[in-house]
Chains A and B, each alone.
Chain A
Amino acid sequence: MKFGIVSFPGSNCDDDALFAATETLRQPAVKLWHKDHDLQGSDVIILPGGFSYGDYLRAGAIARFSPIMREVAAHAQRGGPVIGICNGFQIACEAGLLPGALMRNAGLQFLSMPVTIRVENTGTHWTSRCHAGQCLTMPIAHGEGRYTVDSETLEKVEGEGLVVFRYVNALGETTDAANVNGSLDNIAGVRNVAGNVVGLMPHPERALDALLGSTDGLVLFESVLAAVHA
């Protein structure tokens, strides 16, 4: 199974995603240049973290116009798996692949720390190997991660089970203190209706090695391997 990792100018987690695919998962992977028009046969697309176009104007707002994004959207339309991580989540929202938007953290500060998130929905390509309510610990590193959505869409997001992850405390409870960036309803990640596209602010690719503190990100990648092979 081939991973395609999009490199926008300013992406800085593209190498980490590449290592996740090749070293941890032992799968072929290729970096996709933002100016290209070809996914090079990739089965799975990762929109990695970073500061595409310097986050100028608004995080993800310029990257969505990159030529490669047309191909990514078509891939998603065909039901191909896509994950947007951090800046990739922001880009996926800007591109309309996922509902909602990411605003500046409530505390107005960049936050780099481990968080715990609870799996709310296992009906996606990226969480099929999780069990509902499973708690995962992985790092966040963002300044604009406060998830928000208009009230009408929120009804749909909550009503149709499009919330995939929520920030929780060590006991798995959605407290205000656990909601580090002030996201609406503690939302840390969402899916599209079909379940092939998922976006989240935490970094599963930084939680694949016990040496670095957590292997909780692995289950997301195992899920997508299972989904594609199925």
Chain B
Amino acid sequence: MTATPRAGDPVISAALVAEHGLTPDEYVRLCTMLDRTPTFTELGVISALWSEHCSYKHSRPVLKTLPTEAPYVLQGPGENAGVISIGDGLAVAFKIESHNHPSAVEPYQGAATGVGGILRDVFTMGARPIAMLNSLRFGSLDTPRVRFLVGGVVKGIGDYGNCVGIPTVAGDVMFDASYEGNPLVNAMCVGLLREDELIRAKAEGIGNPIIAVGARTGRDGIHGASFASEDLSEENEAKRPRVQVGDPFTEKLLLEASLELIQSGHIVAIQDMGAAGLTSSSAEMAERGDVGVTIDTLKVPVRESGMTPYEILLSESQERMLVVAIKGREDEVKKILFKWDLTAEVIGEVIAEPVYRVTEGDHVVAEFPGVRLVTDCPQYHPEARESDEAVARRARDVHAVPEKPEESDPAWTLERLLEAPTIASKRWITRQYDSTVRTSTVMGPGDGDAAVIRVRGTTKAIAVKTDCNGRYVFLDPRVGGRIAVAEAARNVACVGARPMAITNCLNFGNPKKPEVFFQFREAVYGMGDACRALGTPVTGGNVSLYNENPQGAIYPTPVIGMVGLIDDVRHITRSSFATPGLDIVLLGDNTGELGGSEYLSWIHGVVAGAPPACSLDGEKALIDALLEGIGASHVASAHDCSEGGLAVALAECCIGNEDHPTGAQVDLSPWAALPLRALLFGEAQGRVVVSTANAQALLAIAARHGVPARVIGTVQSASAGFTITVGPRVLRAATDRLSTAFHTALPRAMKKAAAEVVERDPALAGGTR
């Protein structure tokens, strides 16, 4: 059989090919594969499958350098989600994914459908979702557009996750002008499954029926995958229709129905119809199973009449799944879906002939030679060259940046940093997320350096965290990539978890620009270095390129989603000081580094200097020492030093728990030779602030692991205030002043946003009495 055009199909022209995002070379490649001119439907299918988003055509060779194996990895990259064993016959599935472009034009639906998509990636592995995380990046909160985006994204994430009933427990949010116009919205989902219920999205069994389940297919989101594979521009407002619309209620039903289906044993494979919808889900399942498939678009349940095969194949309508069932079990499958008031229709079949065939009734509208549809995708090795600007920024002597007059009192600087949106409490955001549903959240947002979810029926718990400082990556991609992994690992270790594995979401600019591809390649190499050193393989992830707007590329932002394992819930450790009188111990050493710091950026508007050095051996030793100390019950609290440096970390330990603040008396005189602001606010890596009732035992453990450690002070009552002494210099602040700066900064900034909305639409004011 061969595919022939439908009546009314547009004629294939150079302009039409370009409109579908194919280069002339790629078009030739397609014609060679088919040995003829493609039909309009085929051109649409290829434009989706060969889009950057689906094909990884610029990134794949670099991604292949990442380590992916460990004895406990049950499923590495290439599936809907990665899976690791946690013992007791249980496993954890997890994955992170971006929804940046849709969120830039339609923040509420863009973020909501991002949550929906990643949930489906996890439950299609047979896992019940147990936690959601979000990594968000926005421009400066000073602009109304950014405040609008923040409000919309947060509400979108909350409304979707809250309704489905999965706790949103952690994440990271940063603000920097580089994300203006191109916010990052990365959603991560973690699920729990029994190892023997793991299911893969691999089409198998000649004659087995292919079933479309869930919501009906509409015209929304057509070409979403291609949209995500180009730079954002002024014209993107016109592409709003490419953004999908989510329905979390249907998602909840689909979640329950899918898990019931998987447990029923009636199906062999299941996959989300995500990016590029029916096209990519069916092609990928066929490719993994090395079989052919045939699909009849007339049988697909549709929401509106008159949809063409082109539209049905490329629709990104949400809350849909593709299932391969065991032949003869069609009725059982339908019965389960109907119980949940969802549709299920047989739309095709697994066939032996190695082709990917789409028909409209009897008319073949697309036919590709089998697996080549996925495997013949072009691959590029773009030029990589560091920009002169990055080299110059890194070389700048940041210690020469003149201090502001107010900085003569370091307490002023500390207060300013605590109210920097990147550092300040994110409670305004996180309290819009249900973090306690499913009654397993031991530590939610703000409780510790990572979130902790207990595993029912065991003594175990899972720790999860996302992280990435894009400024470091911008200044030195290799070091920045290492730090992203190391900090995420340090965070889960601070709560008492052994770092196990990562998923990653690589947010970069246009890879065709040599300086962007350099950032991408070096950052991935850096991540690989750290993953190997820390024993945390990569189990999957997502690449989001073309994060650009007319002002330029975003900071390169490879977000790391780390999963750690706690063997005994008794060892879960919080970040805040709780008990006056305990010793404060610094694990790790102070260095005098200042480059790439939040201090330079927020106080001085300077983005320069080399980011802090990252010793991976040192990080590994630090994690081992910390976990041994926690396991021996010598650690009452642990908090890592990150944005804002040691002074901010110490202050956060005192004020992080708004209801139970403490004070601290700290002496850093042993480091009096270092520049004061670098000692207080520099971001040297590999440091953790610990409170302990048994400092000597902890110092002995640190010494055994070769980790520098020193008692630097004691926890005080809140009324005693916060004091850091460095030789003759003293930073002294009232605890409640620091707390107010930290806890009210974000609500104050966002209050403006609420006022703006009411101004635009006075009718809303009525509800806010």
Beta-carbon contact of A19 and B439 below 8 Å: yes
Q: Which residues of B contact A139 (CB under 8 A)?
A: 436
Q: Which residues of B contact A10 (CB under 8 A)?
A: 163, 249, 252-253
State whether A13 and B432 are in contact (beta carbons under 8 Å apart), knowing that A108-B767, A212-B441 are contacts in the complex.
Answer: no
Beta-carbon contact of A110 and B163 below 8 Å: no
Shortest CB distance A182–B (Å): 8
State whether A9 and B454 are in contact (beta carbons under 8 Å apart), knowing that A203-B436, A209-B439 are contacts in the complex.
Answer: no
Tell yes or no: B345 within 8 A of A by CB.
Answer: no
Q: From the candidates B431, B440, B456, B569, name the one contacting A112 in the complex (CB within 8 A).
A: B431
Beta-carbon contact of A9 and B437 below 8 Å: no
Q: From the candidates B158, B439, B454, name the one contacting A206 in the complex (CB within 8 A).
A: B439
> In the bound complex, what is the Cα–Cα distance between A182 and B769 (angstroms)?
9
State whether A113 and B431 are in contact (beta carbons under 8 Å apart), knowing that A54-B249, A211-B454 are contacts in the complex.
Answer: yes
Residue among B158, B250, B439 with most chain A CB within 10 A? B439
Beta-carbon contact of A54 and B247 below 8 Å: yes
Q: From the candidates A19, A51, A206, A212, name the one contacting B163 in the complex (CB within 8 A).
A: A51
Q: Considering the complex, which residues of chain B in the window 420-442 have a beta carbon less than 8 Å from any beta carbon of chain A?
A: 430-442
Tell yes or no: A120 within 8 A of B by CB.
Answer: no
**B569's closest neighbor in chain A, by CB?**
A211
Tell yes or no: A195 within 8 A of B by CB.
Answer: no
Beta-carbon contact of B442 and A110 below 8 Å: no
Beta-carbon contact of B433 and A106 below 8 Å: no
Q: Which residues of A contact B441 (CB under 8 A)?
A: 212
Would you give the 0/1 interface string for B284-326, flagging 1 where the beta carbon is closer than 8 Å to chain A? 0000000000000000000000000000000000000000000
> In the bound complex, what is the Cα–Cα distance between A111 and B454 (angstroms)?
23
Q: Which residues of B contact A222 (CB under 8 A)?
A: none
Residue among B159, B252, B341, B454 with most chain A CB within 10 A? B252
Shortest CB distance A131–B (Å): 24
> In the bound complex, what is the Cα–Cα distance between A33 and B703 (angstroms)?
60
Beta-carbon contact of B252 and A16 below 8 Å: no
Beta-carbon contact of B769 and A51 below 8 Å: no
Tell yes or no: B221 within 8 A of A by CB.
Answer: no
Q: Which residues of A contact B163 (CB under 8 A)?
A: 10, 12, 51, 54-55
> In the bound complex, what is the Cα–Cα distance between A23 and B454 (angstroms)?
15
Q: Which residues of B contact A175 (CB under 8 A)?
A: none
Shortest CB distance A115–B (Å): 11
Shortest CB distance A24–B (Å): 10
> In the bound complex, what is the Cα–Cα distance between A209 and B155 (angstroms)?
30
Tell yes or no: A94 within 8 A of B by CB.
Answer: no
Tell yes or no: B32 within 8 A of A by CB.
Answer: no
Shortest CB distance B465–A (Å): 19
Q: From the candidates A55, A112, A209, name the one contacting B434 in the complex (CB within 8 A).
A: A112
Residue among B250, B341, B437, B440 with most chain A CB within 10 A? B437
Q: Which residues of A contact B612 (CB under 8 A)?
A: none
Q: Considering the complex, which residues of chain A in the window 20-57 have a beta carbon less than 8 Å from any beta carbon of chain B?
A: 20, 23, 49-51, 53-56
Q: Which residues of B contact A12 (CB under 8 A)?
A: 163-165, 252, 437
State whether A106 and B439 are in contact (beta carbons under 8 Å apart), knowing that A13-B165, A112-B432 are contacts in the complex.
Answer: no
Shortest CB distance B414–A (Å): 27
Beta-carbon contact of B439 and A9 below 8 Å: no
Shortest CB distance B438–A (Å): 6
Q: Which residues of A contact B38 (CB under 8 A)?
A: none
> In the bound complex, what is the Cα–Cα distance between A134 and B265 (angstroms)?
51
Q: Considering the complex, which residues of chain B in the window 385-441 have a beta carbon less than 8 Å from any beta carbon of chain A?
A: 430-441
Tell yes or no: A173 within 8 A of B by CB.
Answer: no
> In the bound complex, what is the Cα–Cα distance between A211 and B459 (angstroms)?
12
Q: Which residues of A contact B248 (CB under 8 A)?
A: 51, 54
Beta-carbon contact of A15 and B438 below 8 Å: yes
**B166's closest neighbor in chain A, by CB?**
A12
Tell yes or no: B768 within 8 A of A by CB.
Answer: yes
Q: Which residues of B contact A13 (CB under 8 A)?
A: 165, 437
Shortest CB distance A68–B (Å): 15
Beta-carbon contact of A16 and B437 below 8 Å: yes
Beta-carbon contact of A112 and B769 below 8 Å: no
Tell yes or no: A75 within 8 A of B by CB.
Answer: no
Shortest CB distance A185–B (Å): 15
**A209's closest neighbor in chain B, by CB?**
B439
Q: From the candidates A15, A50, A112, name the one contacting B435 in the complex (CB within 8 A).
A: A112
Query: B residues touching A (Cβ–Cβ < 8 Å)?
Result: 155, 158-159, 162-165, 247-250, 252-253, 340-341, 430-442, 454, 456, 569, 659, 767-769
| Subset of 7 A-B contacts with CB under 8 Å | A9-B253, A106-B768, A108-B767, A110-B155, A141-B434, A141-B435, A211-B569
What are the 6 A-B residue pairs with the smallest beta carbon separation, nearest first? Answer: A12-B165, A54-B249, A141-B434, A51-B163, A139-B436, A16-B439
Q: Given known contacts A13-B165, A55-B163, A108-B768, what 5 new A-B pairs fall within 8 Å (CB)? A: A10-B163, A15-B438, A56-B249, A143-B159, A212-B436
